[in-house]
Structures are given as C-alpha cells and as structure tokens.
Amino acid sequence: MRSVLIGNGVVIQHGGADYLNANIIQRGIDNIRAGCHPAHLYPRECADFVFALAKEHPAALNGDYDSYVFTTYDRMSLTDFKSRYDSARTYSATEIGFEDYFLLFELVHNKLSITNPERFNSRGVLRRMFLDSVFNKGKIESVHKQFSAGFVRWLKTHNHILTTNYDSNLEIATGLPVHHLHGSFNTLSEVYDPNSFRNQLEDDLLDGEKVDFDYPHLYSTCLVSYVGDLKSYSMTQSSLANTGMKKFVEGYQSNPDLRKQIDSWDESNDLVKRLKEAIQLKAEHPELEHSEQYPHEILGNISGTLEIVGLSPNNDGHLFEHILENKNITQIVFHHFSAQEAADAKQLFSSKNLSTRDVRDFWVDVNT
C-alpha cells in the first residue's frame, strides 16, 4: 500500500511566492492598510497588533518571557521557538512564522494577565486575518491549474492522499478523496454549523458572535496553532466528546439513581447546565453526535510506504509522532529541500526504513 502526505511546499511549488510565510503576513497587513478586508470580521488594528507582537520577538528569544509560561506544552513550544531563530539578530515582522505569532500572543497575554473573553476574541480576529491572507481571495483554490499531468498521475498511484493544507487542489486535480489533517477551507466548523449537536443546545454558545457566511473560509475547520499538542487536541476533541457522552447517556438510561442525580444538577453553573442539557438531549435523540471533522486516525491505520512532500521535518511533530508509532509503515520516502532538512529527517525517522530525495529532482521527474 502507498500513501502520500502533502504539505505547503506543494502549494508554493505551483502557486509561487504568494504562499511563502513572509508574503502571507505582508498580504494580510497590506489588505488591512488598503481597506481590502472584511472589517466587521477582523479590525484594522490587527495589523498594528502584528507589529506589536513582533517587537516582543527579541524579548521572547532572550528569555524575558520564560516566567510567563505556565504549561508543559507552552514550555516545550518556547524552547522550540528559541531554537529556530538566532537571538543575535533582529527579525522583521514578515520573517516570523505566522503560527509563531500565536505563541507570542499567549506569552504577552500571560504577562498582562488578560483573560477571556477579551483573550478569546483577540485570538479569533488574529486567526481570521491570517486565514484570510492564506486564502488570498480564493486564488489558492486555483493552484491545481498549474499541476502537471505527470504530478496528477503520480498522486493517483497512492491509496491514501493526506495533507496539512487547507485548500482543495488535490481533490479537484485527482477526483479522489483527500484526508485534511488540519482542516479545510471548504468544511464549516461544527462551532458554526447550525445543525451541529452543540448548536442544538438552548444557550448561544457563540456568545452573540455574528457569523457572515459570505466568508465561509473564516468559519472553517482550519487549525491554526503554535503547538502540535493543541492541534492534536483539536483533532481528537470530537471523538473524545462522543465517547464521553455515550457513557453518560448509557448510565443515564440504565441507572435510575444516576438519572435522578443528573436531572437534579444545579444549573447555576453554565458548564454543568450545558452538560446536563446535552445528556438529556442525546438520550432523546441518540443520532446526535459531534462530527469527526479531522481524520486523526488515518496516520495510525495506513501501511506500507509513506512519501512526504512539501513538509519540513521540523514542523508538525504531532503528526510525525503518529507516523513513528505506526509499525505498519514499512518505508518512508522524505523529499527534502536542503541538505539540512535531509539530515533532520534522518534523525527524526532513525527508527524507520527511510530514504531521502531532493524535492527538485522529484519535480523534474514527475513533470517530464
């Protein structure tokens, strides 16, 4: 069996420099300055916010924020963050990884003791600005027009196509199903789906947030985070919620004492009230479930050969952990862009049967 994992390098190869990190950030800033953005969904202050966070980049590298890290995964993320930049030089706003801005965001909010809902709302508008820039007014969805016939044929030789990309170019080009590990512009997040389980509850869980479906990509399942642990949590959240809810409902229906206890829960606490209502609602409508919007199990189920194209071995470690744990993956072919990437891949996959190949040679072969 053959599988392939595709990253953003494939979009850059065919869509050009527009999808490099620096240009994604610059485009977001330029769109705001030119007024070419949905100001009712993210304000012009987002551009100023990016520059304010960029000013904290040297402080974060030099350890000034070390005491404002409160979780294990944040501490690991900060360590990784420091390893990827040179503290002896200054980086412009466009040289900082756009997902790293979300780590800077958390560090600054920790230092200033800013909590929800302000923190949640500010994070949300920053996410929308960057997602809108990646979407590039929908142009990213046309990148497949630049795919060669040879590349499309090569894609079709695989049993499974997986990607960390948000766009739908792979499925359009091949006509095959594609596993979007980090979500898709074309899939509405359950948070905003009026027919979802969570939105059948009486409370307005959006807390009055106005949704404009003229911009569906801003309400999609796309995961944007500075740390793999948070992405992993988001990928498995629905599955865990369904399992937990099933156990609650089974007890509610089979144990009269538990049913009486749940029915008498104090509703003054919003979380308790929502859990109580959800249990009662699912007991009445067992078909209701949280939708599984991220195919998190696929990396544990594939077997045989896995080729990786367009991904850095230094990003998305949460995905590589699943690959390393899968003993049925017998060979990995890693297409690298530099000698350093090849060396890093060899270290990362030292326990696997690995071969590395210069991605430029790959493109020559599939395009001829």
Burial of 287 from C-beta contacts in 10 A (0-12 / 13-18 / 19+): exposed
Same domain, 26 and 97: yes
Residue 193 domain-assigned (yes or no): no
Residue 289 domain-assigned (yes or no): no
Residue 225 to residue 236: CA distance in whole angstroms = 15
- How confident is the model over 94-112, as a mean pLDDT? 95
Q: How many CA atoms lie within 13 A of 98 on its CB side?
A: 23
Same domain, 316 and 173: yes
Residue 237 domain-assigned (yes or no): yes
What is the total count of domains within the chain? 3
Same domain, 55 and 7: no
Q: Which of 6-20, 132-146, 201-215, 241-255 has the lowest mean pLDDT?
A: 201-215
Map 13-30 to HEC letters: HHHHHHHCHHHHHHHHHH
Residue 192 domain-assigned (yes or no): no
Mean pLDDT over the full length of the chain: 89
pLDDT of residue 234: 54
Same domain, 299 and 312: yes
Q: Is the pLDDT of residue 233 over 70?
A: no
Instruction: State both tokens at 314.
Output: 């230094």
pLDDT of residue 258: 86
Residue 191 domain-assigned (yes or no): no
Most confident of 75-84, 85-94, 234-243, 288-297: 85-94
CB-CB contact of 243 with 250 (8 Å): no
Burial track 336-347 (b if 16+ CB lie within 10 A, e otherwise): beeeebbebbbe
Instruction: With cut-offs at 50, 70 and 90, classify the pLDDT of residue 230.
Output: low
What is the pTM assigned to this prediction? 0.85
Same domain, 60 and 84: yes
Instruction: State both tokens at 182.
Output: 């980090």
Kindly report, residue by residue over 130-178, the tens digit of the pLDDT: 999 999 999 999 999 999 999 999 999 999 999 999 999 999 999 999 9
**CATH number for the domain harbouring residue 326:** 3.40.50
CA distances from 304 to 87, 161, 336 (A): 42, 14, 20
| Residue at which a domain ends, from 284, 306, 325 | 284
- How confident is the model over 28-54, as a mean pLDDT? 96
- Alpha helices in 57-206, H assignment, sequence order: 57-61, 72-83, 100-111, 118-135, 149-156, 169-174
Residue entry with tokens 């998190």: 296
Helices 228-254/72-83 angle, 10° precision: 160
Same domain, 271 and 303: no
Residue 223 to residue 131: CA distance in whole angstroms = 10
Q: Which domain holds residue 175?
A: 2-14+138-186+295-366
Residue 231 domain-assigned (yes or no): yes
Same domain, 72 and 117: yes
Residue 257 domain-assigned (yes or no): yes
Residue entry with tokens 């960390």: 164
Q: How many CA atoms lie within 13 A of 63 on its CB side?
A: 0
